[in-house]
Chains A and B, each alone.
Chain A
Amino acid sequence: MNKIWLIIRREYITRVRKKSFIVTTLLIPIMMFGLFSLFVYMAIKSEQKQTIVINDESGVFINKLDTVQKSYTLVYDHLRSGEENKGILERNKADIYLHIYPFADNKPDSIHLFKEGGVSLSAKSFINDQLDNIFQAKQLQDAGIDKMQIDSIQNSVIQIKSFDLKDNKETNSEIASSIGYAMGFLIYLVIFIYGAGVMRGVMEEKTNRIAEVIISSVKPFQLMMGKIIGIALVGLTQFMMWIMLMLLLQLLLPLFIPGLTEVLHSGVNVPADMQNSMSGLSNPENMGVIKAFMNQNWGLIFASFLFYFLGGYFLYASMFAAVGSLVNEDPQEAQQLTIPVTMPIILGFMIMATSVKDPNSSLSVFGSLFPLTSPIVMLARIPYGVPAWQLILSMVLLVAGFIFMTWLSAKIYRTGILLYGKKPTWKEVFKWIRYS
């Protein structure tokens, strides 16, 4: 036990002291924070205004385009005789030129947009929506239907609130599926990143030929488990650091974007469109989303995340260790040999993608019980609520699977780590399992 502790400590300390660990631990939250603040900043500071000059030869759209959109200034004008497209833009100091040709048979014929360097997607869709609306209104009017009436009919949307029978809490399947997806994806990522870390560590010991020296002092199983546990602790440390840094940075957010607190608290001096999007929070539909978000059983989600994170990691880490022990110097060999290990992870990810939509299908239930896929799939189901017996069975199976896999991998590992030279075939590997 004492020796395993020494190995865990070495694996942990050498990794935590590495520059790459320090850099990723600090950089990832800063990058995510940076991206987040960039979004907030973009939302607050409205886009640079563009002027659109409209030459409407059909007469249908003149003075009808919506000017509420702050991003665009609209000017109506006509081409002067002999004037080029460029001319009309320069005369109006405009960025975009919209040319609507006369209608043919009461239907739009050609509509063209011109801009130096091409028209951006947002400008195009803005204009497209506007023209669609105006043309639709005109058609309704021509048919003798009142546009206002249509609008009020269209706005009377039916809202369904869903409740969980168990506790009468309001549920929201969009929220549940996005939480499930995020959790499942995180586990998937963690298994890959840290599992591959275990494999590289084993390969390093084998190719450096240090494994034989160490195995003359400790059992191969101790060396393997020491490495796996050490790297798990590195992973947990990194997670904790990320969470702490994110919380810290979040507190600093108002310092970077001075307008933010005002936006959040008063709403004074805020651009109109920003106010619109912010006031959305108080509208009852959005309140429902937030309530559903808060109503999630976060305690259960975090506890099961931790359990499946560790369970999934340990299950796969021992398999990655076994694969690492089979590899000689050639990194291409490693790629080939990892295929049997990575396949079930990817399978789990695929089942998870369907489970977030249909959490109680038989495939989802199977995926959330089968130990090789359950760490990823179960997390996608938990936000929807999972029967207790399934959760317990899944956890028991995962622990059993982890013990079985570690036992199996240890057999491969202890032969593989001492075998130099040629790459063993899978047939030989099965022999080691059978006879050792």
Chain B
Amino acid sequence: MLQLQNLKKYYANQKAVDDVSLHIKKGTIYGILGPNGAGKSSLLRMVTGITIPDEGQILFDGASFDANQHSRYIGYMPEERGLYKKMKIGEQTLYLAQLKGMKKIEAMQKINYWFQKMDMHSWWNKKVEDLSKGMSQKLQFVTTVLHEPKLLILDEPFSGLDPVNSEIIKQEIYNLAKAGTTILFSTHRMEQVEEICEEIALINQGKVILQGNVTDIRNQFKHNQYRLIIDRALQGYDNGLISQHNFEYIFQFADQAASKALLNHCLQQNYHIQTFQEILPALSEIFIQQVEGSTASRQFTK
């Protein structure tokens, strides 16, 4: 769907995007992760055609990216949200849809559909300045997806959203992905990524540090740690035990055979096993580990 090849974007005194190559498959939810100032927005702006890369190439559906031709198929919600404050909501939504190349009748149908769905029908004649912050973000999301983009680019989509609206938007993202929309979004909040993304790229100081499937990445960085919770104190087994809290034990083994040995021991001794799981590292841990010592990682842990 989207291929970025050796993209570079330099500003006067810094490399905002430094040799980034990514491959984003159709229908995936792809997360671009990184601390503030890592170059996420600069990268997304190039993909939307707002800025032109200094070097490298973008392929959209296999063809060289051309903003004139492809902007019709892209929906973009920038980090800094914005709408005309004094324009009526209905007219504004129609205007933005028409700018994307939709016919008026077609656009009106879509607007009706989304306004109904998002419970916004009474808003038509209101102005944006009359809306609350949460409401206007919902509206912004609708204006972004109205023209049914093949590629949806969301820059920090959840920042500033209350939990209710955040959940609504998350649900819509799932739905769109299920319907075949490719979603590319950036965030600096790792827990969201683990929750919704299938694939990610970790970016720091303009460079990709890690990329791939979320589960694969976590497996790649696992330490072979296991958590065991049983109904009484564990006796006769302390091989690899690193910590213990009541009846919860954490083990670290050299290989998988050792974990099987532990499980066998528990079964033989007739323990009631509540939990036995492998502990995978959180993405934030992996990230911090990867950029250890750099200024970005310190900022990130805060």
Residues of A within 8 A of B (CB): 3, 6-7, 10, 14, 204-205, 208-219, 418, 420, 428, 431
Are B83 and A210 interface neighbours, CB within 8 A? yes
Contacts of B45 in A (CB 8 A): 418
Residue pairs across A and B with CB atoms within 8 Å: the count is 60
Complex contact B12–A428 (CB within 8 A)? yes
With beta carbons under 8 angstroms apart, the residue of A210, A219, A420 that contacts B84 is A210
Q: Are B80 and A420 in contact (CB under 8 A)?
A: yes
Q: Which 8 A-B pairs rank lowest in CB-CB distance, beginning with the nearest?
A: A209-B82, A216-B76, A210-B82, A209-B80, A217-B99, A212-B78, A216-B48, A208-B82
The closest CB in chain B to the CB of A214 belongs to: B99
Q: Is B233 an interface residue (CB 8 A)?
A: no
Q: Do A218 and B12 form a contact, CB below 8 Å, given A211-B82, A212-B82, A418-B51?
A: no
Which bucket holds chain B's interface residue count?
20 to 34
Select which of A209, A216, A418, A431 is within 8 A of B49 by beta carbon.
Answer: A216
- Do B50 and A215 touch across chains, with their CB atoms under 8 A apart? yes
Known: A208-B83, A418-B50, A418-B51. A213 touches B96 (CB 8 A): yes
- Looking across the interface, which residue of chain A has its beta carbon closest to that of B47? A216
Choose from B12, B50, B85, B98 the contact partner of A216 (Cβ within 8 Å).
Answer: B50
Residues of B within 8 A of A204 (CB): 84
A212-B50, A418-B50, A428-B12 given; A217·B82 CB < 8 A = no
Q: How far is the CB of B72 from chain A (nearest CB, A)?
A: 8
Indicate which residue in A213, A219, A431 contacts B76 across the interface (CB closer than 8 Å). A213
B223 to chain A, nearest CB (A): 42
19 contacts between A and B (CB under 8 A): A14-B86, A14-B87, A208-B82, A208-B84, A209-B78, A210-B84, A212-B50, A212-B76, A213-B76, A213-B83, A214-B99, A215-B50, A216-B48, A216-B71, A216-B76, A216-B78, A418-B51, A428-B12, A431-B12
CA distance A7 to B95 in the complex (A): 9
B48: nearest chain-A partner, CB-CB:
A216
| A6-B98, A431-B12 as given contacts; A213 in contact with B71, CB under 8 Å | no
A217 to B51, CA, bound (A): 12
State how many angstroms separate the Cβ of B124 from the closest Cβ of chain A.
Answer: 16
Residue contact A213 to B78, C-beta cutoff 8 Å = yes
Please tell me if the beta carbons of A6 and B99 are within 8 angstroms of each other in the complex: yes
B136 → chain A closest CB, angstroms: 11
Smallest beta-carbon distance A292→chain B, Å = 49
Interface string of B61-94 (1 = CB under 8 A from A): 0000001100100101110111111110000000
With a CB–CB cut-off of 8 A, which chain B residues contact A10?
Answer: 95
List residues of chain B with CB within 8 A of the CB of A210: 82-84
Assembled-state Cα–Cα distance A14/B48 (Å): 28
**B100 CB-CB contact with A under 8 Å:** yes
- The chain B residue with its CB closest to the CB of A220 is B50
- In the complex, which residues of chain A have a beta carbon less than 8 angstroms from the beta carbon of B51? 418
Known pairs A210-B84, A212-B82, A216-B76; A6 contacts B71 (CB<8 A): no
Tell me the nearest residue of chain B to A212, going by C-beta: B78
- For A7, the chain B residues whose CB sits under 8 A away are 99
List the A side residues contacting B81 at CB < 8 Å.
209
- CA–CA, A212 to B49, complex, Å? 11
**Contact A6–B80 (Cβ < 8 Å):** no
**Within the assembled complex, what's the spacing in Å between the Cα atoms of A428 and B11?**
11
| Shortest distance from the beta carbon of B151 to any chain A beta carbon, whole Å | 11
Since A205-B84, A208-B82, A213-B82 are in contact, a sample of 19 more A-B pairs with Cβ atoms closer than 8 Å, ordered by chain A residue number, is A6-B95, A6-B99, A14-B84, A209-B80, A209-B82, A212-B82, A213-B78, A213-B83, A213-B96, A213-B143, A214-B96, A216-B48, A216-B49, A216-B74, A218-B99, A219-B67, A420-B80, A428-B12, A431-B12
CA distance A63 to B169 in the complex (A): 97
Please give, as numbers and ranges, the residues of chain B lying within 8 Å of A216 by CB-CB distance.
48-50, 71, 74, 76, 78
Q: How far is the CA of A210 from the CA of B82 in the complex (A)?
A: 4
Bound form: Cα–Cα A3–B71 in Å = 12
- Roughly how many angstroms separate A216 CA and B45 CA in the complex, as a whole number? 8
CA distance A60 to B85 in the complex (A): 77
Most buried by B among A10, A209, A214, A216: A216
CB-CB nearest in chain A for B52: A436
Nearest Cβ distance between residue B52 and chain A, in whole angstroms? Answer: 9
CB of B8, distance to nearest CB on chain A (Å): 15
In the bound assembly, the distance between CA atoms of A320 and B83 in angstroms comes to: 22
Residue of B with least CB distance to A209 = B82
Query: Distance in Å from the Cβ of B147 to the closest Cβ of chain A?
Result: 9
Q: Beta-carbon contacts of B246-280 to A below 8 Å, as 1s and 0s?
A: 00000000000000000000000000000000000
In whole angstroms, how far apart are the Cα atoms of A168 and B196 in the complex?
87
Query: How far is B292's CA from A299's CA once the two chains are assembled, in angstroms?
Result: 77
Contacts of A3 in B (CB 8 A): 99, 101
The residue on B at minimum CB distance from A223 is B99
| B87 CB contacts on chain A under 8 angstroms | 14
A206 to B50, alpha carbons, bound, how many Å? 14
Q: Which of B78, B84, B96 contacts A217 (CB 8 A)?
A: B96
Residues of A within 8 A of B80 (CB): 209, 212, 420
B-side contacts of A209, CB under 8 Å:
78, 80-82
Nearest Cβ distance between residue A390 and chain B, in whole angstroms?
42
Given the known inter-chain contacts A208-B83, A209-B81, A212-B82, please indicate yes or no for A217 contacting B100, CB distance below 8 A: yes
Of all chain A residues, which has the CB nearest B45?
A418
Chain A residues with CB under 8 Å of B48's CB are 216
**CB nearest neighbor in A for B100:** A217
A7 to B98, CA, bound (A): 10
For window 95-121 of chain B, which residues contact chain A by CB distance below 8 Å? 95-96, 98-101
Cβ of B61 to closest chain A Cβ, rounded Å: 18
Docked CA distance A219–B49 (Å): 9
CB distance from A382 to the nearest CB of B (A): 40
